[in-house]
Amino acid sequence: METLGFYSDQARSDVRVDTAIAAAEYEQHAVNAHHAATLVAIHSVLEEARFSPEVFVGDHASRFSREDVEFAAYVEFSERAAIADLAVRLALSENTVRSHEHQAVTMISRTPILWQRFRWGDVSPANARTVAELAASLPEGDRAAFAAFDAAVVEHATRLAPARFRAYARKLREQIVADTAVERHQAEASLRCVTFEPDLEGMAWISAYLPADVATAAMALLDAEALRLSAVHGETRTMPQLRADVFGDMITGAGGGSVAMRVGVLIPMLTLLGQTESPASLEGYGPIDAETARRLAGDATSIYRILTDPVTGAILDIDQPTKHIPEGLRRMRQLIDQTCTFPGCGKRAMNCDLDHTIDRQFGGQTTLMNLSHLCRNHHRDKHQTKWTITQDAAGRIEWTSPTGYVAAPDPPPF
């Protein structure tokens, strides 16, 4: 009887496991289908914005321009305003909204079989993104290539994990367009770039998109130098650490010969005096530890220092790189904003326009609390669409979308 009870309990356990796995499969299919439905909804909003631009623009743009705005421009303004509206409501970046619609349009037009399986929930969002990315890179108008790619990837997209599927799909894509490899490489090489991404604990990522031969040679150089240093007596750094240090020394000139530029660091007064260990804020990055902040404030010639109240965070004093007051005002606003002040926009303030919230032509003054940084796209949206911005006496900024949604301001950077 005990034996029968054991098998009975195990049988019930097997049923529970099978049931749980089935539930997980069902829920994952639902997640996949819901993600696809989100792409459809985003595409529908943007299509409506293009078809009926008056919803997002109306006659608003003409009041801020002396020249007539062509209908195509109204459509462009409407699309940008709608993308911003969706981004704020969905708590996504505008680039994500654009990429979601681009993914939907690409899959609908180039991989309809895969798209339908995605709508049914059979394909994960990660695999669907891979399909859209690779399908978008196929030769424009080559319907035979579209159909061949669509038919070949659909089965594997439903059963392979993302990394494995991506490797398979890339290989398939290369086989389909093998006869244009040289031209495609030249086109892709024109997109080479370097990107910077702040991380936590005083760290950041730098990524470079390079031709494969250049990247391979660079890694070989890093490896060789790191290996040489690892053989030095007393060296305790790991190979990854050595590669990172060699890379940093190479691109900065090991402390010499670097391009001169000034970066701001906001330091609470008590932190500077050594009485607290409250973090400071490095311009373009974010929080840094107190010790690093004091070092930068003391001996880094490329840093300009901004003292802040330890309780309220209000700016108490700022280094003046020039004697001109407008420059100091610009520096102060730049350090207050850190980025474009549109909700969710991460464009650095130093690369944005410094805009009068109330335009000078309407009586706006050039004061700290009537200025804010806007990237070029959001600057245009402010003037050419129904997006509106307000700023109170304390500098608190609010944006209202064309559909009436009031976006709460992002948290202050310090």
DSSP string, 341-407: SSTT---BGGGSEEEESS-GGGT---SGGGEEEE-HHHHHHHHHSS-EEEE-TT--EEEE-TTSPEE
Residue indicated by tokens 């030249």: 186
Among residues 358, 304, 375, 365, the alpha carbon closest in space to that of 335 is found at 304
The pLDDT, as a whole number, for residue 4 is 55
Query: Is the residue at 302 inside a domain?
Result: yes
Stretch 176-198: mean pLDDT: 80
Structure letter (DSSP) for residue 316: E
Task: Name which of 61-65, 267-271, 316-320 the model is least confident about.
Answer: 61-65
Is residue 242 located within the same domain as residue 283? Answer: no
Q: How confident is the model at residue 259 (pLDDT cuts 50, 70, 90)?
A: very low
Highest mean pLDDT of the ranges 48-57, 144-153, 349-358, 365-374:
144-153
| Cα→Cα distances 194→156, 187, 209, 210, 248, Å | 33, 17, 6, 9, 14
The pLDDT, as a whole number, for residue 128 is 97
192 within 8 A of 168, measured Cβ to Cβ: no
Is residue 177 located within the same domain as residue 199? Answer: no
Domain boundary among 164, 189, 214: 189
Q: Calculate ∠ Cα 72-73-75, nearest 5°.
A: 65
Is residue 226 located within the same domain as residue 304? Answer: no
Stretch 354-362: mean pLDDT: 84
| Cα→Cα distances 57→9, 51, 228, 259, 403, Å | 66, 12, 62, 44, 11
The pLDDT, as a whole number, for residue 158 is 92
Rounded Cα distance between 401 and 405, Å, is: 5
Stretch 264-286: mean pLDDT: 74
Task: Name which of 255-259, 338-342, 363-367, 383-387 the model is least confident about.
Answer: 255-259
Query: Is the residue at 393 inside a domain?
Result: no
Residue 142's region, left for phi above 0, alpha for psi from -120 to 50, else beta, is beta
pLDDT at 408 > cutoff 50 = yes
The pLDDT, as a whole number, for residue 268 is 78
Is residue 85 located within the same domain as residue 205? Answer: no
Query: Is the residue at 350 inside a domain?
Result: no
Query: Is the residue at 365 inside a domain?
Result: no
The pLDDT, as a whole number, for residue 90 is 94
Is residue 54 located within the same domain as residue 23? Answer: yes
Is residue 32 located within the same domain as residue 144? Answer: yes
Q: What is the pLDDT of residues 160-180, one digit of tens each?
A: 889 888 878 887 887 787 666
Is residue 215 located within the same domain as residue 121? Answer: no
The pLDDT, as a whole number, for residue 119 is 96
pLDDT at 19 > cutoff 70 = yes
Rounded Cα distance between 85 and 57, Å, is: 12
- The percent of residues above 70 in pLDDT, for the chain, comes to 79
- pLDDT greater at residue 113 or residue 257: 113
The Cβ-side half-sphere exposure at 339, using a 13 Å CA radius, reads 15
The pLDDT, as a whole number, for residue 41 is 97
- pLDDT greater at residue 273 or residue 153: 153
- How much is the pTM? 0.66
The pLDDT, as a whole number, for residue 183 is 72
Stretch 215-221: mean pLDDT: 79
Over the chain, what is the mean pLDDT? 81
Q: Calculate ∠ Cα 21-27-33, nearest 5°.
A: 140
Task: Name which of 21-30, 101-110, 157-166, 305-314 the model is least confident about.
Answer: 305-314
Is residue 30 located within the same domain as residue 142? Answer: yes
Its domain, for residue 30, covers 2-189
Is residue 140 located within the same domain as residue 220? Answer: no
Query: Is the residue at 308 inside a domain?
Result: yes
Tokens representing residue 308 in the block: 């802040």
Domain boundary among 232, 255, 278: 255
pLDDT at 150 > cutoff 90 = yes
pLDDT at 311 > cutoff 70 = no
Tokens representing residue 74 in the block: 């109204």
| Cα→Cα distances 109→105, 135, 143, 147, 366, Å | 6, 10, 10, 10, 50
Query: Is the residue at 403 inside a domain?
Result: no
The pLDDT, as a whole number, for residue 302 is 54
Task: Name which of 75-89, 157-171, 297-311 the model is least confident about.
Answer: 297-311
Residue 70, SS3 per DSSP: coil
The pLDDT, as a whole number, for residue 339 is 84
Q: Which residues have C-beta within 8 Å of that of residue 73, sequence separation ≥ 6?
A: 61, 384
Domain boundary among 157, 189, 221: 189
Rounded Cα distance between 138 and 176, Å, is: 9
Q: How many domains does the chain have?
A: 3
Stretch 123-137: mean pLDDT: 95
Q: What is the pLDDT of residues 98-114, one digit of tens each?
A: 999 999 999 999 999 99
